[in-house]
Amino acid sequence: MARDDYGCYIAGKWLAGPASVPATSPSSGKAFATVNGGDAATAAAAVEAAAEASPSWAALSAFERAAHLEEAATAVATAREDLARILTEDQGKPLAAEAFDEVDELAVYLRMAAADATRLDGALPPSTSSARRVLVRRVPLGVVAVVSPWNWPYTMGGELFAPALAAGNSVVWVPAPSTSACSAALVEVLASSGLPPGVFNFVPGPGPVVGAAAVGHRLVNGVGFIGSTATGSEVASRAAGKAQVLELGGNGPMVVLADADLELAASAALEAAYLCAGQSCTAGERFLVEHAVHDEFLERVVEATRRGVRLGDPFDAETTMGPLNNEATASKFDRHVGDAVARGARVCIGGTRAKGFATELFAEPTVLDRVTPEMEIAVEETFGPVVPVVEVDSAEAALDLTNRSPFGLTAAVFTEDLERGLAFAERARAGWVNVNASTNLWESHLPFGGRSGSISGRGRVGGRYVIEAFTEPHTVVLPAPRLRAPEEGRE
């Protein structure tokens, strides 16, 4: 298909879906492509194609599937420039500062999944009878539906579909509507790598229509979703009874204790708040700063923001932060900042949409002081470029605010006393805690997800943990082998 005209990819063929939608750049406001998305019937056709391809794909050895994923990774690396540019056009993240990194990380995900699949082992548990042997191996579920978000269009989909494929499942991928064009460009690259028809299928379109039809289809046995807590709850309900990996939202605190290295903490705050313009589930959404160092930390963060963050055209090599992806996210940024100011917070820098750009989606990097725990910005997930500073009296007070939140995805704590940092980390109700590093620091092979009892999801993404989620134990019981006389069994 032409690079400005995309559709659905089903059973190895590109098809024009019934819903034609322009892809509009959040930085220029101009339409640069057309995506011919699908509907519920299209999603059903993709699931059926995946189900038909599933047995032959599952029958390949792990090493044969790994070879396919290695080819896919090579294809991604080869198309690095094109994939990064359309990612910047479609999503808005800076080309030099972030887009190339996301493409490179996707290639790593594909290679890691390939390697992990070849290491998936089984067991030979004992039987109650000496006359029997028991074999247990992990087998694929069949068809896995993957629904992914717009903030990291390549890697958030890839961290689910790469291990699902490597484990022997066929996949139906439903991307976020606002980044369907770059997602389709990626599918073109993956399709060129030689994946068998029907093994990997792609249906862009509205989540409540296409995503709902895919995850609820009777032939889908596993569901992977990354996105908001509200949508995740709907997905979980529709996918009831199926294997699920749900990585949902966060309101991660970054805690700065009185003995912290403030230069390190201020630098980490920029990464926590402004990476991907703050549009990350691992973003530092609250900065809980102990009273003794509050003033100095605030001064350092404001100065670091002023000097270190360059908001601008995402194609400019000097730009470190681009626009927000969509108006709904930008409006939430406005609402949260406005609510905080109305309740007594002080804007230290930023606080509004930036002027002088082609669209109104550019939000100024913002630091707020005098934020209280009851304000919307301290309770909800903002998904914007803001450092809301909450002054606390002690580490215990910071821990209490951390654990009071219904979210439980990430947290970070800064202290020069590593024993103190470990004590905080072990008591923090979060699935992932960093000590002396930004909330946005993570390693893709490690288990990542929401803490049990929180609204931040279930299951874990990351390396082999996704492969295990999208496989299941298969038990075979057979008679014990016995030595036979040489003449036995001969005619």
Token pair in block for residue 4 = 């400005």
Whether residue 164 is found in the same domain as residue 226: yes
Statement: residue 134 has pLDDT above 80 = yes
Q: Which of 242, 255, 269, 211 is nearest to 385 (CA)?
A: 269
Statement: residue 490 has pLDDT above 70 = no
Statement: residue 259 has pLDDT above 60 = yes
- In this structure, the number of other CB atoms found within 10 A of the CB of residue 476 comes to 10
Give domain status of residue 416, yes or no.
yes
Question: pLDDT digit string (tens) for 67-84?
Answer: 999 999 999 999 999 999
CB 413 within 8 A of CB 435: yes
Q: Please state, in angstroms and rounded to a whole number, the distance separating the CA atoms of residues 302 and 290.
A: 17
Question: pLDDT digit string (tens) for 339-348?
Answer: 999 999 999 9
Whether residue 16 is found in the same domain as residue 161: yes
- In this structure, the number of other CB atoms found within 10 A of the CB of residue 48 comes to 18
Q: Which of 154, 195, 201 is nearest to 174 (CA)?
A: 201
Whether residue 380 is found in the same domain as residue 469: no
Which CATH number fits the domain that encloses residue 355?
A: 3.40.309.10
Question: pLDDT digit string (tens) for 379-408?
Answer: 999 999 999 999 999 999 999 999 999 999
Kindly give, in sequence order, each residue whose CB lies less than 8 Å from that of residue 271, ignoring residues fewer than 6 positions away. Answer: 438, 440, 441
Whether residue 182 is found in the same domain as residue 34: yes
What average pLDDT score do residues 137-165 get?
Answer: 98
Helix orientation angle between 262-274 and 294-308, rounded to the nearest 10 degrees = 50
For residue 489, what pLDDT is reported?
A: 55
What average pLDDT score do residues 12-39 get?
Answer: 96
Binning pLDDT at 50, 70 and 90, where does residue 2 land? very low
Statement: residue 45 has pLDDT above 80 = yes
Total domains present in the chain: 2
Q: Which of 108, 67, 312 is nearest to 196 (CA)?
A: 67
The span from the first CA to the last CA of the chain, in angstroms, equals: 62
For residue 483, what pLDDT is reported?
A: 82
What average pLDDT score do residues 3-13 get?
Answer: 92
Whether residue 90 is found in the same domain as residue 210: yes
Give domain status of residue 488, yes or no.
no
For residue 1, what pLDDT is reported?
A: 38
What average pLDDT score do residues 28-52 get?
Answer: 97
For residue 235, what pLDDT is reported?
A: 97
- The whole-chain average pLDDT of the chain stands at 96
281 as an active site residue: the answer is: yes
The whole domain housing 171 covers: 5-248+456-476
3-class secondary structure, 200: strand
Give domain status of residue 486, yes or no.
no
Whether residue 110 is found in the same domain as residue 90: yes
381 as an active site residue: the answer is: no
Which CATH number fits the domain that encloses residue 62?
A: 3.40.605.10
Q: Which of 48, 89, 98, 247 is catalytic?
A: 247
Token pair in block for residue 86 = 């359309």
Question: pLDDT digit string (tens) for 265-322?
Answer: 999 999 999 999 999 999 999 999 999 999 999 999 999 999 999 999 999 999 999 9
What average pLDDT score do residues 350-378 get?
Answer: 98
Question: pLDDT digit string (tens) for 217-231?
Answer: 999 999 999 999 999
Kindly give, in sequence order, each residue whose CB lies less than 8 Å from that of residue 158, ignoring residues fewer than 6 positions away. Answer: 106, 109, 110
Any alpha helices (H) in 275-362, and if so which ranges? Answer: 294-308, 327-342
Q: Please state, in angstroms and rounded to a whole number, the distance separating the CA atoms of residues 387 and 377.
A: 10
3-class secondary structure, 157: helix
What percentage of residues in the chain have a pLDDT greater than 70? 99
What average pLDDT score do residues 33-55 get?
Answer: 98
Q: Please state, in angstroms and rounded to a whole number, the distance separating the CA atoms of residues 171 and 157.
A: 11
Whether residue 468 is found in the same domain as residue 349: no
Whether residue 164 is found in the same domain as residue 275: no
Q: Which of 8, 182, 276, 281 is catalytic?
A: 281
Whether residue 11 is found in the same domain as residue 43: yes
For residue 491, what pLDDT is reported?
A: 54
User: Considering only 83-97, 245-259, 474-488, which range has the smallest mean pLDDT?
Assistant: 474-488
Binning pLDDT at 50, 70 and 90, where does residue 4 land? confident
Whether residue 211 is found in the same domain as residue 300: no
Whether residue 69 is found in the same domain as residue 136: yes
Q: Please state, in angstroms and rounded to a whole number, the distance separating the CA atoms of residues 143 and 156.
A: 19
CB 300 within 8 A of CB 256: no
Give domain status of residue 429, yes or no.
yes
For residue 485, what pLDDT is reported?
A: 77
CB 407 within 8 A of CB 454: yes
Give the DSSP H/E element, type plus range, for residue 369.
strand 366-369
Sheet holding 410-414, edge to edge: 346-349, 366-369, 386-392, 286-290, 253-256, 410-414, 432-435
Question: pLDDT digit string (tens) for 282-295?
Answer: 999 999 999 999 99
Whether residue 392 is found in the same domain as residue 328: yes
Question: pLDDT digit string (tens) for 72-118?
Answer: 999 999 999 999 999 999 999 999 999 999 999 999 999 999 999 99
Q: Please state, in angstroms and rounded to a whole number, the distance separating the CA atoms of residues 31 and 23.
A: 5
